[in-house]
Amino acid sequence: MKRSLLAAIALIFISPLALAKDAAGSKDHPDFKRITGSEIIWHKASKFDELNIALERVEFDYDKQAFKKTKRDKAEGQLTTLYYKLPADSTTLEAVRQYEAELKPAGYETLFTAENDKLDDGYGRFVEQTFPIAKKTGQLQYLHEFNKDEQRYSILKGKGKEGNAIYVSVYAFRLDDVNTGFDKLVEGHKLEKGNVVARVDILETKAMDTRMTAVKAEEITSSIDTEGRIAIYGVFFDTDKSDIKPESAESLAEMAKAISAGKGTYLIVGHTDNQGDLNYNQTLSLKRATAVTAALTGEYKIPADRVIPVGVGMAAPLAPNTDDKGRAKNRRVEIVKM
């Protein structure tokens, strides 16, 4: 964030010295402060995660019993999520406008903003599609489930010091029910009917730190000989993209070495987690498998008739898709011996 923006924030945002009621262990993002008089009631900081970016109204197709396709995006990187209880006289409009007013002078642009029925066609569907983990997270599930009549959202995009993209989303909603299912938050932060809560997500795009050692050719061969297949986690793609990232080179080289030393034909199989549409994920997984196959036959000179790309999308999970850990295990490329 630019120096001028930080100076401006200091005029209307509170100092950390007055944050006595914050949730244990929580703190503001170092570059994005809070509205004066608010307190953190829930927080999570992830070194690498993804943010759903809503760009259009969420609607449900009753004839097909499925959500309609809407304009959306995703971003990956360091994610900070904070839920703030705002001062008693706050409105959802003020919550969104405060952040917009502070970020726009720093070059941030609003990608999408809307409120109430312009966000969804009811039943809390905007939260369900945009913040799916919240609907499965203890107190947050009920905080949203019983407080969805007044809601407002804004997603902004800017640049960080290194030129990387930064996304800031603000979802503000008013509490109408403080008696059902989220008593720990109510008691711990004295939530009352009429309070406005703002969920603020800050996603700083960055490449994932490579923590996994590339599987060696010998291990690939051994697994294929005993299991007929092996899962490879060292081939990386951006969210919703099929371009292979540079940090995949070591894994591709080991894959090529094993295939070259082996005999016969191999399937290069793309897998995804269950986030998103079934048909879309199957198409994406095939594109990724095709990209890997092209790299093996092009850069690593594997004969084209020895590797066949296959995309199965979310059809063959190795773990439940109920949390980040499980979904990460399901996003993979496999080598299968024919």
**pLDDT tens digits, one per residue of 100-127:** 999 999 999 999 999 999 999 999 999 9
pLDDT for 24 equals 93
211 belongs to a structural domain: no
Quick one: pLDDT at residue 328? 83
Structural domain containing residue 250: 217-337
Residue 229 and residue 197 share a domain: no
Q: What is the pLDDT of residue 198?
A: 98
What is the widest separation between alpha-carbon atoms in the chain?
72
Q: Please say whether the beta carbons of 152 and 171 come within 8 A.
A: yes
Q: What is the pLDDT of residue 200?
A: 98
* pLDDT of 224 strictly over 70: yes
Residue at 210 is within a domain = no
Q: Is 212 domain-assigned?
A: no
Domain harbouring 280, CATH code:
3.30.1330.60
12 and 67 in a single domain? The answer is yes
| Same-domain check for residues 87 and 145 | yes
The residue out of 205, 234, 268 marking a domain boundary is 205
In a domain, 76, yes or no: yes
User: Inter-axis angle of helices 217-227 and 249-261, to 10 degrees?
Assistant: 60
pLDDT tens-digit series, residues 276-325: 889 999 999 999 999 999 999 999 999 999 999 999 999 999 999 887 77
Residues 28, 159 within the same domain? yes
Interacting residues of 209 by C-beta distance below 8 A, sequence separation 6+: 47, 48
* Single-letter amino acid, residue 106: A
Residues 145-163 have a mean pLDDT of: 94
Q: Please check whether residues 224 and 75 belong to one and the same domain.
A: no
Q: Are 140 and 134 within 8 A, CB to CB?
A: yes
pLDDT, residue 19, reads: 43
Residue 304 vs residues 77, 234, 255, 270: alpha-carbon distances, Å: 35, 22, 15, 17
Out of 170, 205, 240, a domain closes at: 205
Which of 153, 180, 205 represents a domain boundary (last residue)? 205
- Indicate if 120 and 192 belong to the same structural domain: yes
Q: Is 226 found in the same domain as 191?
A: no
Q: What is the mean pLDDT of residues 37-49?
A: 94
Mean predicted confidence (pLDDT) in 174-199? 96
Q: Percentage of the chain surpassing pLDDT 70?
A: 92
Structure confidence at residue 137 (pLDDT): 92
Looking at the domain assignment, is residue 309 inside a domain?
yes
Question: What integer best gives the mean pLDDT of the chain?
Answer: 90
pLDDT for residue 183: 95
112 beta partners: 155
pLDDT at 9 over 80: no
Q: What is the pLDDT of residue 140?
A: 97
Whether residue 273 lies inside any domain: the answer is yes
Q: How confident is the model at residue 213 (pLDDT cuts 50, 70, 90)?
A: low
Task: List, in order, residues 6 or more apart from 218 with CB less than 8 Å away.
Answer: 258
- Is residue 332's pLDDT more than 50? yes
Residues 333, 306 share a domain: yes
User: Domain check: are 122 and 224 in the same one?
Assistant: no
12 compared with 188, residue with greater pLDDT: 188
293 located within any domain: yes
CB-count exposure of residue 229 (10 Å: 0-12, 13-18, 19+)? middle
- Total domains in the chain come to 2
Q: Which pLDDT tens digit goes with each residue over 277-290?
A: 899 999 999 999 99
Amino acid letter for position 313: G
Rounded-to-integer distance, Cα 24 and Cα 268, Å: 47
Residue 13 reports pLDDT greater than 80: no
The answer to whether position 315 is within a domain reads yes
State the Cα–Cα distance between residues 228 and 174, nearest whole angstrom.
Answer: 55
Is there a single domain that holds both residue 243 and residue 113? no
Q: Is the domain of 194 the same as that of 235? A: no
Note the pLDDT of residue 209.
Answer: 60
The reply to whether 183 and 82 lie within a common domain is yes
